[in-house]
Structure 1
Amino acid sequence: MPSSVKEGRVTKAKSKSRSTSSSVLSSSLGKRRREHAEATPKPLPLVERTNALPIDQFIEKYVPQSSLQLNLPGPKQKQKQTHDDKDKPADRNGDHDHKEQDSPSTTNYIIDIHTAQSVPPADFQACFNLIELTSSNDYMNSSIGWSPAKKRKEMKLPDMRYILLRPALAPGRPDTGQHEGGVDKAPSEEGTGAGKGQVLGFLSFMVTYEDGKEVIYCYEIHLSPTLRGKGAGKHLMTLYEEIGRRVGLEKAMLTVFKANTVARRFYDLLGYDVDEYSPQPRRLRNGTVKEPDYLILSKALKGNLPDV
C-alpha cells in the first residue's frame, strides 16, 4: 500500500475499499428489491378480487349456509273435523255433522347461487319469464322501453350472480313444470337437478363500483305472484345484503320505477332511502321539467347489522 511522509511521520493513505464495497452492496440490494417488487403482483382491489372467485369459493366465503333453506306458507288445505256434540242429531248415515276448516301448511324452499355463466338454461329462462310477467309493462311505460334482447344481454353480464328460489321436491317426485303463478314452462331436457322444482323467484346482483364506491347492486328481484306477501322477497333481500356485508362493501343499491309503488313501499320497510346519486329532474330548453321515471335507492351496510 503506498504511503506518504508528513511532518516526519510516515502515514498510510486512507483506504477507499470499504466505502466502495458498501456502495456496491447497497446498489445491489436496491436492485434486488426493485426486481422483487416488480415480480410480486399487487393484490387485486376488493371488487375485482371478489369477482375473480369461482362460484364455489364465493359461496363458501360469503354465503351463510343457514340462508339456503326456508319454509314459507303453502296453500291452505281443507281438513274435515268431526264435532262430537251429542246434542246434534246424526245424519242419515249415523254420522255427526262435519265441517271443512282451513288447515295451514308450509312448503320447503331451497336456494341456489349461480353466475351468469353457470345458471342452467331452464333456470335462466324461468328468470326471464318472471321479469317479463312482473315488469315488462313498467318498462314499456318508461323512457327505457321493453326490449327482450337487451334484457337477456344484461342478464348475461360477466360479473352477474343469481340467487334462485325454488321448491324442494320430495325424493322421487318429478317436476311437472306446472306451478302456481303461470310463469313456468314445461321442464327442459337440461332439467334443474334431482329433488329441485322450477325457479319461482330470484334476485340477481353484482359486486361493482358506483360513483367510485364499492357496492353490491341488485339488478332484479322477482317472485311468482303466489309467493308474494309470504316473506320470500324479504329473505332474498336479507341474504343479498348479508353477502355484501361479508364481502366488506359500503352499501347495497338498486333501481326502482317510480310507478311501482308496491316495490317502493317494500324497499322503504327494508330501510332503503333515495341515494345521493339518484337522477334529478331536468329542465329542457323549452322550460319543460322532465322528471326521471326511476329512483336509485341505497342502504348502508358497514356497521348495519341484519334484522334476523
Structure 2
Amino acid sequence: MSSSVQGGRVTKNTTTTTTARRRRVQHPKKTRASIKSQPQGHEYERNGSQYNPSSSLPLVERTNKLSIQEFTSKYIPPECLTYTIKNTEKYSDGEQKYNFSIHSAASIPTTDLNACFDLIEETSSEAYRNSSTGWSPSKKKKEMKLPDMKYLVVRREELTPSDGEGEVVGFMSFMITYEDGKEVVYLYEIHLSAEVQKQGLGKRLLLVLMEIGRRVGVEKAMLTVFTSNGVAQRLYEAIGFETDEYSPRPRRLRNGMVKEPDYRIMSVRLDGGPYV
C-alpha cells in the first residue's frame, strides 16, 4: 500500500491498495469492431514502435506476455543498467560503478529474492506495523512473486573479476499494469542499503523506471508512500511526482474527528523524456 524510507531506504506496501486497484480496474475489452479500427500499414503506436496488426492484445497484456529477455531488449537500453559515482573520496580510484540486473518474478535467483526481502524487512517492517496495513512477511513474499512483477537488482561492481559479482546493495520492483483504467508503470519497492545511500542511486532508479514506462508507452508512473515519510516524498517530488487524483482524502468520522490517510498515492505523467 505505501512506500516508506527507513534510514534512507524506500519500500512499498501494496496489500490494501492492490485489493482496491483490483476492484477499480476494468481491463479494456477487445471487440471485433475495435480490432478492425486499429491503425494499419506503417502507422505507429504512441510509444513510437510500429504497429503490428497481427497483435490484438492491449498494451499491458502484450507487454507482460514478453519474456524478460524480450522486455529488456525492447525497453531497457544498456545505459539504464549501469550507474557510476564520480569524484568521490569514498573510493580510492575516485569513482564507483554499480550494475543493475533485470529479472522477472519467475527468473530472479532465489538468493537475490531473499536479499530483496531482507532489505524490506530490515528497513520497513516497523513502518508497516505502525500503519493501518500491518506487517505480514507471508503476504509480502507472495506479492513479490506476482507473475508480472519485474526487478532491477543493484550490485556494486567489484575491482577485479575474481571478487565475484558482489552482494545485493539495493533493488527496485515494478509492474506494467492498470490503475483506475489507465496504463501505468507502478513502483512496488525501492530500497538501498545504508552503505550506498546519498549517492544518487535512488534518483537514478526512479528515472530508469520512468524511462521504461515511456518506452513501453504507458501514461503514468505511479507509487504509494507513507504520509509520515517526508524523505521519500521530497525525493519523489523533486523528480516530478505529485499527489494522484485517486490518492485517499481525509475522512470525517461520526464523532466529528477528521482521520488523515496514512499513505499517499503519487504519479507523474510520462509525456517528456528521455529520462536517462
TM-score interval for Structure 1 and Structure 2 normalised by the shorter chain: 0.7 to 0.9
CA contact (8 A) 2:211 2:275 kept: no
Structure 1 match to 2:147? 158
Structure 2 match to 1:292? 261
* Cα shift readout 1:7-32 (whole Å, capped 9, x = no counterpart): xxxxxxxxxxxxxxxxxxxxxxxxxx
Report the CA distance between 1:263 and its aligned residue.
0.5
Task: For 1:112-131, list aligned pairs within 5 A.
Answer: 112-131=101-120
Runs of 4+ with deviation above 3 angstroms: none
In structure 2, distance between residues paired with 1:170 and 1:104: 10
* Cα shift readout 1:66-87 (whole Å, capped 9, x = no counterpart): 121221256626xxxxxxxxxx
In structure 1, distance between residues paired with 2:90 and 2:145: 38
In structure 2, distance between residues paired with 1:271 and 1:199: 28
TM-score, structure 2 normalization: 0.76
Q: Is structure 2 residue 78 aligned with structure 1 residue 65?
A: yes
The sequence identity of aligned pairs, in percent, is: 55
Structure 2 match to 1:46? 59
* Count, aligned residues: 224
Report the CA distance between 1:105 and its aligned residue.
2.6
Report the CA distance between 1:170 and its aligned residue.
4.2
Structure 2 match to 1:179? none
CA contact (8 A) 1:238 1:306 kept: no
Task: For 1:209-288, list aligned pairs within 5 A.
Answer: 209-288=178-257
Structure 1 match to 2:45? none
* Cα shift readout 1:105-150 (whole Å, capped 9, x = no counterpart): 3222111000011110110011111111221221111101111111
In structure 2, distance between residues paired with 1:56 and 1:293: 38
CA contact (8 A) 1:253 1:298 kept: yes
5+ long unaligned stretches in structure 2:
1-35, 37-52
5+ long unaligned stretches in structure 1:
1-36, 78-102, 175-194
Give 1:236's aligned amino acid.
L
Give 1:139's aligned amino acid.
Y
Structure 1 match to 2:165? 196
Give 1:252's aligned amino acid.
A
* Distance of aligned partners of 1:246 and 1:41 in 2 relative to their CA distance in 1, 3 Å threshold: closer
Instruction: Say which of 153, 157, 163 aligns to 1:168.
Output: 157
TM-score, structure 1 normalization: 0.69
* Cα shift readout 1:51-77 (whole Å, capped 9, x = no counterpart): 000000000000011121221256626
CA contact (8 A) 2:174 2:188 kept: yes
Structure 1 match to 2:4? none
Give 1:232's aligned amino acid.
L
Report the CA distance between 1:217 and its aligned residue.
0.3
Structure 2 match to 1:82? none
* Cα shift readout 1:139-184 (whole Å, capped 9, x = no counterpart): 111101111111111111111000111012344424xxxxxxxxxx
CA contact (8 A) 1:110 1:167 kept: yes
In structure 1, distance between residues paired with 2:54 and 2:73: 25
In structure 1, distance between residues paired with 2:178 and 2:147: 15
CA contact (8 A) 1:127 1:202 kept: yes
CA contact (8 A) 2:175 2:186 kept: yes
Q: Secondary structure at the match of 1:292?
A: coil
Answer 1 or 2: higher relative contact order, Cα 8 Å, separation at least 6: 2
